Amino acid sequence: MPLKPLVTKSFAKLNLYLQVLNKRKDNFHNLSTLFARIDLADTIIFRKRPDSLIKIKCDSRQVPKDKTNLCYRAAALLKQELKLSLGIEIELKKCIPVGAGLGGGSTNAASVLLGLNRFWNLNLPKTRLVKLGAKLGSDVPFFIHQTKFALGSLRGDKIKPLISLGKLKLWFILVYPNFKVSTPLIYQKFDSYLSAGRSFSQLTRPRGNVKILTSQLLKKGKAVDAHCLFNGLEVITSNLYPVVNQVKNALSGMGLDKVMMSGSGPAVFAICDSCMQAQSLRSKLRKQYKSWQVFVVSTV
């Protein structure tokens, strides 16, 4: 009897805090970050194949369907590591904007590892999946943990789930100004800035740190000091793409003070007091800025 298709959700993330600490010998960077998983999600459908091939289907022209696709790479890695001859069709229905700083590719890779672990009855422990995920991308281990909030260190791939924040629900207005940003390019520009003789402290001056932000979330819930939100890549991305500051200014102009870019951008979010406030702001933004994609999202 053929296996029924398996349908899974692949959630996006925001970085509520992102500090680049230093460059590593492997050319990656050591980070200190606070991840928040949000309910903006892609859908991934797994279907059995009669052969040993990996086939990718996707409704987005921006997503490659070949061996460079992260879903393909995740499935191929599992097959290689476990010497499997199984085939799979992976259908990806995109809702997370591509190249937005929201972890779209990474969450898809994680969902394929988790999904195929179930679909193929592999029974691999989470620790093994996390190690495999780290080979595919620095953000992948966060999504493997399937947690609402987590601290990330090293390349961002060493994850400490924050179970104590499990009941906290944050609402956000999220704006994607409809263009892709290359994460490697942003880090390259970051390094160029440093090689010009400027220090990390000149480039990134957080007034708080990730522990202070985590403590505030734990004690105050939504009442977080705006200066504790921090993204050290924001100055680089906004210099290259001034529209990032335009989005930030639009949100600030609506009375929001907890406004920040996620990841390497260009998506910008603001913490809202409620779902109702976020929906009201979304309506205004959509009328005023028709070229932007505007979402109301919450932690999940």
Residue 1 has a pLDDT of: 38
Residue 21 has a pLDDT of: 87
Which tokens sit at 69? 């696709």
Q: Is 281 helix (H, G, I), strand (E, B) or coil?
A: helix
As a whole-number percent, the residues of the chain with pLDDT over 70 amount to 95
Q: Do 64 and 143 belong to one domain?
A: yes
Lowest mean pLDDT across 19-28, 187-196, 216-225: 216-225
Choice among 13, 148, 248, 258 that is catalytic? 13
How far apart CA 210 and CA 197 sit, in angstroms, is: 26
Residue 197 has a pLDDT of: 62
User: Residue range 60-87: average pLDDT?
Assistant: 95
Range of the domain at 274: 171-298
224 or 6, which is more confident: 6
Q: Do 120 and 247 belong to one domain?
A: no
Residue 176 lies in a domain: yes
- Annotated active-site residue 139? The verdict is yes
Residue 196 lies in a domain: yes
* pLDDT at 205 exceeding the cut of 80: no
Residue 2 has a pLDDT of: 54
Residue 160 has a pLDDT of: 96
How far apart CA 244 and CA 186 sit, in angstroms, is: 14
Q: Of 165, 182, 212, at which residue does a domain stop?
A: 165
- Annotated active-site residue 13? The verdict is yes
At 194, the amino acid letter reads L
Confidence band (pLDDT; 50, 70, 90) for 24? confident
Q: Do 58 and 152 belong to one domain?
A: yes
Q: Of 165, 197, 212, at which residue does a domain stop?
A: 165
Choice among 79, 139, 148, 258 that is catalytic? 139
Q: Do 34 and 86 belong to one domain?
A: yes
User: Residue range 36-61: average pLDDT?
Assistant: 96
Q: How many domains does the chain have?
A: 2
CATH number at residue 231: 3.30.70.890
Instruction: Name the helix (H) or strand (E) containing 151.
Output: strand 149-153
Residue-wise pLDDT for 94-139, tens only, equals: 999 999 999 999 999 999 999 999 999 999 999 999 999 999 999 9
Residue with tokens 């939504």: 222
